Structure 1
Amino acid sequence: MKKSSIVIAGGGSTFTPGIVMMLLEHLNRFPIREIKFYDNDASRQEKIAKACAILLKERAPEIQFSYTIDPKEAFTNIDFVMAHIRVGKYAMREKDEKIPMKYGVFGQETCGPGGIAYGMRSIGAIIEIIDFMEKYSPNAWMLNYSNPAAIVAEATRCIRPNTKIINICDMPVGIEDRMAEILNLPNGRKDMDIRYYGLNHFGWWTDIRDKQGNDLMPKIKEHVAKYGYIVNPQQHGETEASWNDTYAKAKDVYAIDPDTLPNTYLKYYLFPDYVFAHDNQHPEHTRANEVMEHREKNVFAAAKQIVDKNTSNGCDFHSDEHASYIVDLAEAITFNKKARMLLIVENNGAISNFDPTAMVEIPCIVGANGYERVCVGKIPQFQKGLMEQQVSVEKLVVDAWISNSYQKLWQAISLSKTVPSVSIAKKILDDLITANKDYWPTLK
């Protein structure tokens, strides 16, 4: 059976150990001969990599492991790039969240002005990684799940249209896991066949069935109408308060269109006033602070413990279940599985009454040659209108990055459904430019 060589771009990420653990759990279906880490922050990466080196030596000594900041070393002779980078790290995420809040607009890492700021930082780095891959391993595939995925996907479409890249997001997977819990399905989300469409973090399920074709939507809808996506809370004690609020708010998002089931992130666009009021209760303590105090601290502490003890026995690294989606994707390409998966792809007629150049999130069939889109057909006016506004924001951001245009970026922020006026958009933009002077292209 073919064994793959992969490089994880973003080797110093707090999510990297969970991905390694998940890869190890699925070696029977996606065998690996080599794992490499690549990051431009050598010190941060080394802390994670030294721990993962011990883990791999103990649990899968047959897998070669290395880590580097040298692109040639990292990207030579590989089959997959698994990219999950965060340009500016959590310090810049904190600014993405707090700057809009000064002007009555919520701050969030992928939605609204915060997501736009993050996107402007991410585009150049993703293009750089694509170029490294194409230079040193031209037959490799890049599986990109770096946020904000919608803006990054649009940028790759425009700037590197012929590259072998598949953009994905694990948010729908996480919601489908909760749907499967609602239904008590023995094999979880893999017992469901779904129809879904939208943009990244901006979509709707229109049909969910079991493998025998039975309609599962009524039971899920009944639950969501009462509880949102909160399910078995006693078994989800580790879920942070901000996420519990997001899952619960799905009840109100669902109410605007009970013919479908919504992605949780729609709360940011349909209830921006609620989100701002909720976040503004603690304006100095946003989601970025929550992550730095918990996930960031805990993962690096666990890594240090492994290195200090020189063993991974009893370690606090946990398999990231969402990362199983990446394994599914890599397996489908490697072994031509013809698996049905949600991907972020150029529409190209899949949604018949929507911009053919839009990067939409829809089911695709994945095999050795990449993906084939599943036809969605026409979508309702409500969703179409929301999507047209949001996809215009994403296109304007990428246009602004390519052309160094202040005007285009001002238009993008102004068009976001989360921002109340053009004047507020300009104030936010001017502050974001100052904060991102080391990361954004110079705007004119």
Structure 2
Amino acid sequence: MSQKLKVVTIGGGSSYTPELLEGFLKRYHELPVSELWLVDVEDGQEKLDIIHALCLRMVEKAGVPMKVFKTLDRRQALEGADFVTTQLRVGQLDAREKDERIPLSHGYLGQETNGAAGLFKGLRTIPVIFDIIKDVQEICPDAWVINFTNPAGMVTEAVYRHTNFKRFIGVCNIPVGMKMFITDVLKLTEKDDLSIDLFGLNHMVFLRDVLVNGKSRFAELLDGVASGKLTANSVKNIFDLPFSEGLIRSLNLLPCSYLLYYFKQKEMLAIEMGEYYKGGARAQVVKKVEKQLFELYKDPDLNIKPKELELRGGAYYSDAACEVINAIYNDKQTEHYVNIPHHGHIDNIPADWAVEMTAILGRDGAKPHARITHFDEKVLGLIYTIKGFEVAASQAALSGEFNDVLLALNLSPLIHSDRDAEVLARELILAHEKWLPNFAATIEKLKP
């Protein structure tokens, strides 16, 4: 790695960027980022300007020799990059609102990483990530791409299945939240060594062991969560419904909060339909939070990341990304929870799958943790189902074919009718026409 350490953040006008910068400033003694480039698109220019000004104030306050640039020219920014982080939302929050409201209008869960909404976020996002990778391969082929754009699992699957780029790691904040929860409820201190066995797919992970200073404390944790003494939800954007004691004890695993969409479909749908009939959707909540954040960010006296950022569901993403970059840059060989291909390391799933699991990170990227070589058979059926959906979704993003979209929808366990799948596919493709350029031929056929 060069002495000059250059990081490029695509989606630099995101409300999360101050957290990313805070992470770099906090680690400056071991991760001396000399240049941070914030890249965005024309529609994001105003937000980019606000974020850039705040970042300059934060750097000045920290007193470190880091330069922060802003640009709409991605290719210019990528020159000489060591790390590229991707945190983009194609179509911004208006697109998310359509993703949520159209399925709900037909009585289906709308959520940005699973079901119909997750599929369409993937269809818009994957081609853009592929364009970024093409640029990286041409301009800075030795750079690592650290992605925290959702749906992270689907995006990682698509990259490893349909490109030959190998320096790509998907990051999610759910495992970070789970780790913080464990630290909290087991009353651990910084001196304690916490190691977690986590496996599954993005937004579908299970904890199967928790080691504190080499000793398992999983039974105590599981008992606390099952009996309701401990609440295992640290995520802001999912309703706090506890899993039933019977489910937790019979699984003998701790599911992440996103598994509410599979184990409590009826309840989750009832809650979301209630919100929908009141005229709400998660996107509107986020829009409100974003608006408040950007008002704060404009304050010329603000020179730190404001506490209010934690109201966003993705809080701590950026910290996870900084940790990953730090581990690679300094060859740390430390434990992280990331989306990567396992290359046959897990003995009871196909060798070419990308999974989310505990991994060891260093200069050569992420290697699956030696302790986890087998996924628990009890949840393998669900994991296979969702992976089938992800694989079909990545194919549809690539082909722009209506039938490929239908296949992905019909394979999702959140869609319960093949006829409804056709209605949803039609409505969502037409609603997102602007952001689905490779669906142009399909859209022409669908138009009345």
Q: TM exceeds 0.5? A: yes
Relative to the length of structure 2, the TM-score reads 0.90
Counterpart of 2:198 in 1: which secondary structure? strand
Measure the CA separation in 1 of the matches of 2:304 and 2:422. Answer: 53
Q: Give the alignment partner of residue 396 of structure 1, picking from 389, 392, 407.
A: 392
The aligned runs of 1:227-238 (5 Å cut-off) are 227=228, 230=231
State the match for 1:13 in structure 2: 14
**Paired residue type of 2:318:** A
Alpha-carbon contact 2:6-2:80 (below 8 Å) kept:
yes
Please identify, of 86-95 and 132-141, the stretch whose mean Cα deviation from structure 2 is larger.
132-141
1:120 to 102, 120, 123: 123
- Paired position in structure 2 for 1:435: 431
Q: CA deviation at 1:230?
A: 2.8
Q: Is the 8 A contact 1:33 1:63 kept in 2?
A: yes
- Among 43, 48, 52, the residue aligned to 2:46: 43
Query: Does the alignment pair 1:334 with 2:329?
Result: yes
In 2, the alpha carbon distance for the partners of 1:89 and 1:287 equals 13
CA-CA distance at 1:350 after TM superposition? 2.0
How far did 1:109 drift?
A: 0.8
The match for 1:65 is: 68
The answer as to whether partners of 2:231 and 2:242 remain within 8 angstroms in 1 is: no
Q: Does 1:193 align with 2:210?
A: no
Residues 354 and 8 of structure 1: CA distance in aligned 2, closer, same or farther (over 3 Å): same
Q: 1:228 to 1:422 in 2, by over 3 A?
A: farther
- CA positional deviation for 1:344: 1.0
Aligned length: 430
Secondary structure of the equivalent of 1:345? strand
Give the aligned partner of residue 302 of structure 1: 296
1:270 deviation in Å?
2.0
* Contact 2:56-2:68 within 8 A present in 1 as well: yes
Alpha carbons of 1:173 and 1:229: their partners in 2 closer, same or farther (altered >3 Å)? farther
* Structure 2 unaligned regions, length at least 5: 443-448
Contact 1:18 1:317 in 2 (8 A): no
CA contact (8 A) 1:119 1:147 kept: yes
Contact 1:229 / 1:250 at 8 angstroms: preserved in 2? no
Q: 1:82 to 1:221 in 2, by over 3 A?
A: same
C-alpha spacing 1:44/1:204, structure 2 compared with 1 (3 Å): same
CA contact (8 A) 1:145 1:169 kept: yes
Pairs within 5 Å for 1:164-179:
164-179=167-182
After superposition, the Cα gap between the structure-2 partners of 1:301 and 1:412, relative to the gap in structure 1 and judged at 3 Å, is same
Determine the structure 2 residue equivalent to 1:202.
204
The answer (yes or no) to whether the contact 2:133–2:165 under 8 Å persists in 1 is no
User: Residues 227 and 90 from structure 1, CA distance in 2 versus in 1: closer, same or farther, beyond 3 angstroms?
Assistant: farther
SS at match of 1:377: coil
TM-score (norm 1): 0.91
In structure 1, distance between residues paired with 2:147 and 2:23: 17
Distance 2:246 2:365 in 1: 34
1:26 corresponds to which letter in structure 2? R
Change (3 A) 1:314 1:194: closer
Distance of 1:185 and 1:105 partners within structure 2? 41
Q: Please list the CA deviations of residues 24-45 of structure 1 after superposition, one character each: whole Å capped at 9, or x if unmatched.
A: 1221232211111011132221
Residue 435 of structure 2 aligns to a residue whose secondary structure is: coil
Change (3 A) 1:256 1:273: farther
| Amino acid corresponding to residue 303 of structure 1 in structure 2 | Y
Q: CA deviation at 1:403?
A: 2.0
Q: Which residue of 2 aligns with 1:53?
A: 56
The reply to whether residue 377 of structure 1 matches residue 370 of structure 2 is no
SS of the residue aligned with 2:433?
Answer: coil
> Aligned pair in 2 of structure 1 residues 137, 392: CA closer, same or farther (>3 Å)?
same
Ranges in structure 1 where 5+ consecutive residues have no aligned partner: none
Cα distance, 1:322 vs structure 2: 4.0
- One-letter amino acid matched to 2:32: P
The answer to whether the Cα contact below 8 Å between 1:253 and 1:262 also exists between their aligned partners in 2 is: no
2:217 match: 216
- What does residue 423 of structure 1 align with? 419
CA distance in structure 2 between the partners assigned to 1:175 and 1:42 by the alignment: 35
- Tell whether the 8 Å contact from 1:21 to 1:317 is kept in structure 2 after alignment: no
Amino acid in structure 1 at the alignment position of 2:392: L
CA RMSD across the alignment: 2.3
- Spell out the pairing of 1:92-111 with structure 2 (5 A cutoff): 92-111=95-114
Q: What code does the residue aligned with 1:9 have?
A: I
User: What's the offset of the Cα at 1:374?
Assistant: 2.5
